[in-house]
Amino acid sequence: MLDTKLTPVQKKRLDKYSSKTKSFLLGVQGNNGFLFKLCVYGLLIVIGFVYLYPIIYMGSYSFKSLEDLLNPLISWIPSAFYVENYEVAYRVLDLFPTLLETLYVTVIPSIAQTAVAAVIGYGFARFEFPFKKILFGLVLITFIIPPQVLLIPRYVFFNELELIGSILSFLLPALFGQGLNSAIFILIFYQFFRMLPKALEEAAHLDGAGHFRIFMTIAIPMAVPAIIISFLFSFVWYWNETALASLYFGNELTTLPIELGKFNATFDQMYTGDTEAANINEGISMAGTMLSILPLLIVYFFTQRWFVEGVDRSGITGE
Amino acid sequence: MIKQMSLQKKKSVLGLTFLSPWILGFLVFTAFPLFYSLFLSFQKVKITPNGIQTDFIKFENYMYAFTVDSQFTQVLLRFLRELVISTPIIIVFSLIIALLLNQPIMMRGFFRTIFFLPVIIASGPVITDLMDQDVTSIPSIEEYAIFAVFLSNTDGFLNTVLTYLMDNLIIILWYSGVQILIFLAALQKTDKQIYEAAKIDGASNWECFWKVTLPTLYPMIIVNLIYTIVTYSIFALNPVVDHIQSNMFEVSTGFGYASALSWMYFLVIAVVLAFSVGIMVFRGNKKYR
């Protein structure tokens, strides 16, 4: 036996070292050991890579020329910095006019939806009135009604009023709290206003301010975080909505995602008979996809704090 | 006393004023269309230059869906199968990610940003494009021999389930952005003292998870379940949604038939929601209360 030959002093030292290593590897509290951390980081990095794999792939392929695409030796890094795919995709998507149109049909309904959700959320949070619970239940129920059920009657209705192909077919429901996922935004504002202390508003009331003035000058300035969150989420959701948009907007208006959906057809139309770039390839279509998500990526890059913290503030998790 | 009453009345009138846009909108853009589409689903709808012409045909649209239209039942079953496979995966996965992100690690914000990214970019056409390129399955997983052996040894149903999973795993995981944040928010709000108390009583991490974390997260699991089912069923790439929209402008079927389809779809989703939430609430009451 080894330890029988050790002197007591050596044994003590050895014990000290082993317990130090043990606490370094396994941690004192169970979740701060080295091994545990290694596992957490390892898992996060691996899953994160799998998660981002399609985007990395997209980025890599969009810079590949035809030779690179066909060359089996080149897998991730293109042999040269090749931007022609982007030039083609830029022309096919008609990028800047389409981008402006997309912004027009997403920003305006998002603003309307946010404003109206604030008003409605305030009403639910600050006033008592008969049937409040039933009305609130109805708000939540509108979340689970699939838009497809309402699609046909709304289409007929807008068609009668000749609103198909105009932004009003998106704006009107948003203005009356029936836009895309409106229930979520109403819920966000409801929770937010409920958490605000009532004292300020009561003080203003004593000073003779009316309820609408209190709402505009006290409640709204305090609700800036909720406003930003709601606007960003509804912006992204309106941007990514293609099924409703392609139907309501007809041929009059278009958005980047819709143009991306028609990418192959537009490409064929533009380049038939052109011998040089007659065939669409992976590189071009990946460049098109990249261009269509780029504006959202830029917005996300600057505002991601609001997105990821938004759910904390929404109060969905209850107080 | 009278003044008190009138104040209360005034307040309720004010409250309803704030709500009036919603009430109006609900009646015009939700309640009326809901019943109008129910009405249309029992009609044969013809579009004439003078407007819409309807003929009452009883349940014929509904019969047609199950007898003549061979696609609808198939597409609906496929949707249900995918929903049943994907929902548990999305919820368990987002729970695991939330637990990992809840650890005291460096660059937490960076990882949160990554896991939320798909919510930002995932529109129908983008995902279609990525699926066309075959990048939605886990990189080169099919090259491993073990999967080939596994696939060849399993039969029918299990095989389709597995291949579906292999081919779409990343997209399924991409659905979990919001769910991760909801779990994470709930985790950060749980009282740390409960864990300390459990630790003093000698509970291991593993026991802490099952006895403390899971019961406190239980309501959030139900919230996420509802959110997952709803967003999954209205996503633009859903085959049923596609089928309904393609029938809208078909001459032989038209608005009436499409309305019938969409109502059936609505009912199916409602039943699935009621069933799954019901089971969760029932089990939760038995186990945690």
Cβ contact, residue pair B120, A124, below 8 Å: no
Mean pLDDT (chain B) is 82
B287 pLDDT exceeds 50? yes
| A301: confidence class by pLDDT, cuts 50, 70, 90 | confident
Kindly state the tokens that stand for A88: 């083609």
A13 pLDDT exceeds 80? no
Please, what is the Cα angle at A23 between A19 and A26, to 5 degrees? 130
Report the residue from A160, A289, A307 with minimal CB separation from B129.
A289
Report the residue from A142, A260, A307 with minimal CB separation from B116.
A307
Of residues A202 and B141, which shows the higher confidence score? A202
- CA A244, CA B245: separation in Å to the nearest integer? 10
Q: Residue B192 contacts by C-beta under 8 Å, 6 or more apart in sequence?
A: none
Say what the alpha-carbon torsion angle B242, B247, B248, B253 is, to the nearest 10 degrees.
-170
Instruction: Taking residues A35-64, report their average pLDDT.
Output: 86
Instruction: Taking residues B161-182, report their average pLDDT.
Output: 82
Radius of gyration of chain B (CA): 25
Instruction: Taking residues A260-264, report their average pLDDT.
Output: 84
Give the architecture (CATH level 2) of B60-122+175-288.
Answer: Orthogonal Bundle (1.10)
- Please tell me which residue of chain A has the smallest CA distance to B14: A127
Q: Residue B165 contacts by C-beta under 8 Å, 6 or more apart in sequence?
A: B85, B89, B172
Report the residue from B40, B174, B184 with minimal CB separation from A152.
B40
Q: Which residues of A touch B53 (CB under 8 A)?
A: none
Give the mutation candidate from B12, B17, B94, B121 for the A interface (greatest A CB count, under 10 A): B121
pLDDT at B1: 47
Cβ contact, residue pair A51, B130, below 8 Å: no
Quick check: A85 and A289 in contact, CB under 8 A? no
pLDDT at B139: 56
Q: Which residues of B touch A292 (CB under 8 A)?
A: 125-126
Instruction: Taking residues A211-215, report their average pLDDT.
Output: 85
Share of chain A above pLDDT 70, in %: 89
Q: Which residue has the tokens 């040089």?
A: A276
CB atoms within 10 A of CB A213: 12
Quick check: A143 and A211 in contact, CB under 8 A? no
A275 pLDDT exceeds 60? no
Quick check: B142 and B168 in contact, CB under 8 A? no
Cβ contact, residue pair B124, A142, below 8 Å: no
Query: Number of residue pairs across A and B with CB atoms under 8 Å?
Result: 264
Q: Which residues of A touch B244 (CB under 8 A)?
A: 148, 151
Nearest Cα to B14, choosing from A127, A115, A204, A213?
Answer: A127
As beta bridge partners, residue B56 has B43
Kindly state the tokens that stand for A147: 């838009």
- Please tell me which residue of chain A has the smallest CA distance to B181: A311
Q: Which residue has the tokens 């504002």?
A: A189
Give the architecture (CATH level 2) of A95-257.
Answer: Orthogonal Bundle (1.10)
Say what the alpha-carbon torsion angle A10, A15, A16, A19 is, to the nearest 10 degrees.
160
Helix (H, G, I), strand (E, B) or coil at B238: coil
pLDDT at A235: 92
Report the residue from A31, A120, A258 with minimal CB separation from B19.
A120
A26 pLDDT exceeds 80? no
Output phi, psi for A221, to 5 deg. -60, -30
Quick check: A230 and A113 in contact, CB under 8 A? yes
Mean pLDDT (chain A) is 82
Nearest Cα to A244, choosing from A154, A304, A316?
Answer: A154
A236 pLDDT exceeds 70? yes
The identity of residue B249, as a single letter, is: F
pLDDT at A319: 42
Quick check: B119 and A297 in contact, CB under 8 A? no
Of A282-286, B252-256, B262-266, the range with the lowest mean pLDDT is: B252-256
Most confidently predicted of B35-44, B202-211, B234-243: B35-44
pLDDT at B177: 84
| B154: confidence class by pLDDT, cuts 50, 70, 90 | low
Q: Which residues of A touch B29 (CB under 8 A)?
A: 150, 154, 172-173, 176, 178
Instruction: Taking residues B61-69, report their average pLDDT.
Output: 82
Q: Which residues of A touch B236 (CB under 8 A)?
A: 241-243
As beta bridge partners, residue B45 has B54
pLDDT at A1: 46
Chain A nearest C-alpha distance from B22 (Å)? 5
- CA B118, CA A52: separation in Å to the nearest integer? 9
Radius of gyration of chain A (CA): 28
Please, what is the Cα angle at B215 between B271 and B171, to 5 degrees? 55
pLDDT at A103: 92
| HSE-up of residue B137 (Cα within 13 Å, Cβ side) | 13
Report the residue from B114, B136, B178 with minimal CB separation from A52.
B114
Quick check: A232 and A307 in contact, CB under 8 A? yes
Cβ contact, residue pair B105, A40, below 8 Å: yes
Q: How far from the centroid of its chain's Cα atoms is residue A241's Cα?
A: 12
- CA A315, CA A224: separation in Å to the nearest integer? 15
Give the mutation candidate from A26, A157, A240, A248 for the B interface (greatest B CB count, under 10 A): A240
pLDDT at B219: 87
Question: Could you tell me the residue ranges of all domains in chain A?
Answer: 95-257
pTM (predicted TM-score) = 0.85
ipTM summary value: 0.84
Helix (H, G, I), strand (E, B) or coil at B263: helix
Quick check: A36 and A27 in contact, CB under 8 A? yes
Chain B nearest C-alpha distance from A17 (Å)? 25
| HSE-up of residue B123 (Cα within 13 Å, Cβ side) | 28
Of residues B235 and A5, which shows the higher confidence score? B235
Of A64-78, A137-151, B39-53, B142-156, the range with the lowest mean pLDDT is: B142-156
Please, what is the Cα angle at A16 between A12 and A21, to 5 degrees? 150
Chain A nearest C-alpha distance from B159 (Å)? 23
Give the mutation candidate from B5, B7, B18 for the A interface (greatest A CB count, under 10 A): B18
B152 pLDDT exceeds 70? no
pLDDT at B173: 84
Share of chain B above pLDDT 70, in %: 89
pLDDT at A118: 93
**Cα dihedral across residues B228, B229, B230, B236: positive or negative:** positive
Query: Which letter does DSSP use for residue B138 in this model?
Result: P
Of A111-120, A152-161, B154-163, the range with the lowest mean pLDDT is: B154-163
Report the residue from A152, A173, A297 with minimal CB separation from B121.
A297
B81 pLDDT exceeds 70? yes
Cβ contact, residue pair B262, A173, below 8 Å: no
Report the residue from B36, B122, B262 with minimal CB separation from A148.
B262
Instruction: Taking residues A256-273, report their average pLDDT.
Output: 81
Cβ contact, residue pair B233, A172, below 8 Å: no
- CA B18, CA A127: separation in Å to the nearest integer? 9
Quick check: B37 and A150 in contact, CB under 8 A? yes
A119 pLDDT exceeds 60? yes
Could you give the angle at which helices A224-240 and A282-314 cross, rounded to 10 degrees? 150
- Please tell me which residue of chain A has the smallest CA distance to B273: A144
CB atoms within 10 A of CB B94: 25
Name the H helices within chain B.
2-25, 32-40, 60-67, 70-101, 108-121, 124-132, 145-153, 156-174, 177-189, 192-200, 205-208, 214-234, 239-248, 254-288
Give the mutation candidate from B11, B24, B123 for the A interface (greatest A CB count, under 10 A): B123
pLDDT in tens, B200-236: 888 888 888 888 888 888 888 998 999 999 988 888 7
Cβ contact, residue pair B25, A177, below 8 Å: yes
Share of chain B above pLDDT 90, in %: 13
B138 pLDDT exceeds 90? no
Cβ contact, residue pair A149, B263, below 8 Å: yes
Question: DSSP string of B169-200?
Answer: HHHHHHTTHHHHHHHHHHHHHS-HHHHHHHHH
Of residues A304 and A122, which shows the higher confidence score? A122
- Please tell me which residue of chain B has the smallest CA distance to A303: B113
Cβ contact, residue pair B123, A152, below 8 Å: no
Quick check: A153 and B32 in contact, CB under 8 A? yes
- CA A172, CA A150: separation in Å to the nearest integer? 14
